[in-house]
Amino acid sequence: MHTILLTGGAGFIGSHLTRLFVTKYPEYKIVNLDKLTYAGNLENLKDIEDKPNYHFVKGDITDLALVRQLFKEHQFTAVLHCAAESHVDRSITDPLAFINTNVVGTASLLQAAKEFWGTDFSNKIFYHISTDEVYGSLGETGFFTEQTAYDPRSPYSASKAASDHIVRAFYHTYHFPVKISNCSNNYGPYHFPEKLIPLCIHNIINNKPLPIYGKGENVRDWLFVEDHARAIDVIFHKGRIGETYNIGGHNEWTNIALVKELCKQMDEKLRREKGTSEKLITYVKDRAGHDLRYAIDATKLKNELGWLPSLQFEEGISKTIDWYLNNKEWLDEVTSGNYQKYYAKQYDGV
Ligand code: NAD
Ligand code: DAU
């Protein structure tokens, strides 16, 4: 039995995680604390919002008084910490927002949990969801393991690395019951269209340019978001306290090859002439400090807990495109208003 404080549940990964826990564990109570930034959207949870074991609170994880009060009110036995500022490009233009939410916010959750749990950690879990970007950038070979030294290179990854360090410090100092996972790039439904895959899907639908940073040779390791949620479920229930688990897809793509695959699949699905969408590819100024390559070695998770990705990429990306084509209202809504202003600024009119 758990009563879980799940943070950031209205975001991309958080909404899949919330859906998985609320439906798979009806005996658990899940309280979703989300500030509803531009990236948080309650539409992502429409299908489960009326479930009796689900409760939403709009609020900020940096608000220690609020988090303390929520612990008192709901008597949490676990925290699934997913809330974050998550977009690298935004961290380059506004680093303090990332330090605030990702570093101060994580520390405030740890502090409130520590005050409420005291020294009785039986059946308690503080699960911190993190990223492979903390390990820095790989050359053309090699993989990130749990032993790879931290070398974050963007304000986003530095803020996530700092939060990982604070979580680990609570384990070493107070024997706090922490678990951490560091995952590679996710894709799937409800992905906000500022990130590469949903941005390109949106732009292909609307015949807009597909902005590729630099030469498009940077490599990412893509994992279907529901597989990430399944991995978190396994680690939450069976992973060892104080341990870190890498999660990845063993699925590396250069950005340009990935975008060409999207173009190919979307031409077929939209019944456009072969090669139509590729003409939208536009090379733009590179991201500052752009990490070359990420690739995860998830052997520990496989050997210890038996987790493997369930979907092949071609199938996952086809499912994802279908979801966006069938949910144009969601896409139109999140791409209106403020997002348009952000887009104009980020891409300078391209
Ligand atoms: P997202 O940007 O889609 O969602 C973040 C959510 O957090 C939103 O609902 C937002 O409203 C909420 N939030 C932001 N600041 C908050 C605050 N101060 N208080 C309360 N809520 C706040 O992010 P995502 O892509 O779903 O990522 C979720 C987590 O997974 C992050 O910790 C991220 O670092 C990590 N992660 C993401 C990926 C990926 O590919 N997207 C990969 C590995 C790890
Ligand atoms: O590796 C995990 C990380 O993956 C997560 O921690 C982050 O929260 C998540 O945003 C993601 O970071 P990336 O920077 O890798 O994802 P993004 O979709 O922004 O970019 C993927 C690649 O595509 C990257 O090499 C930059 C490039 N890109 C991105 C955008 C938005 C482009 O070429 N053009 C674009 O317009």
Q: Give me the residue spans of the domains in the chain.
A: 3-188+224-248+290-311
Confidence of residue 100 (pLDDT cuts 50, 70, 90): very high
Annotated catalytic residue 54? no
The pLDDT assigned to 262 comes to: 97
Residues with CB under 6 A from ligand 1: 7-8, 10-14, 33-37, 39-40, 60-62, 82-86, 101, 105, 129, 131, 160, 183, 185-186, 192
Rounded average pLDDT over 33-41: 94
Cα(7) to centroid(ligand 2), Å: 22
The pLDDT assigned to 336 comes to: 85
Of all protein residues, the one whose alpha carbon is nearest to atom 41 of ligand 1 is 186
The pLDDT assigned to 218 comes to: 98
Which one is catalytic: 60, 132, 194, 252?
Answer: 132
The mean pLDDT value of the chain amounts to 96
pLDDT in tens, 114-168: 999 999 999 999 999 999 999 999 999 999 999 999 999 999 999 999 999 999 9
pLDDT higher than 90, residue 348:
no
Model confidence, pTM: 0.97
The pLDDT assigned to 217 comes to: 98
Rounded average pLDDT over 82-104: 98
Pick the CATH number of 3-188+224-248+290-311 from 3.40.50.720, 3.40.50.300, 3.40.50.970, 1.20.120.160: 3.40.50.720
pLDDT in tens, 259-272: 999 999 999 999 99
Cα(67) to centroid(ligand 2), Å: 31
**Secondary structure (H, E, C), the chain:** CCEEEEECCCCHHHHHHHHHHHHHCCCCEEEEEECCCCCCCHHHHHHHCCCCCEEEEECCCCCHHHHHHHHHHHCCCEEEECCCCCCHHHHHHCHHHHHHHHHHHHHHHHHHHHHHHCCCCCCCEEEEEEEHHHHCCECCCCCECCCCCCCCCCHHHHHHHHHHHHHHHHHHHHCCCEEEEEECEEECCCCCCCCHHHHHHHHHHCCCCEEEECCCCCEEEEEEHHHHHHHHHHHHHHCCCCCEEEECCCCEEEHHHHHHHHHHHHHHHCCCCCCCHHHHEEEECCCCCCCCECCECCHHHHHHHCCCCCCCHHHHHHHHHHHHHHCHHHHHHHCCCHHHHHHHHHHCCC
Annotated catalytic residue 132? yes
Q: Ligand 1, from 5, 6, 13: best to mutate by most atoms within 8 Å of Cβ? A: 13
pLDDT in tens, 2-23: 999 999 999 999 999 999 999 9
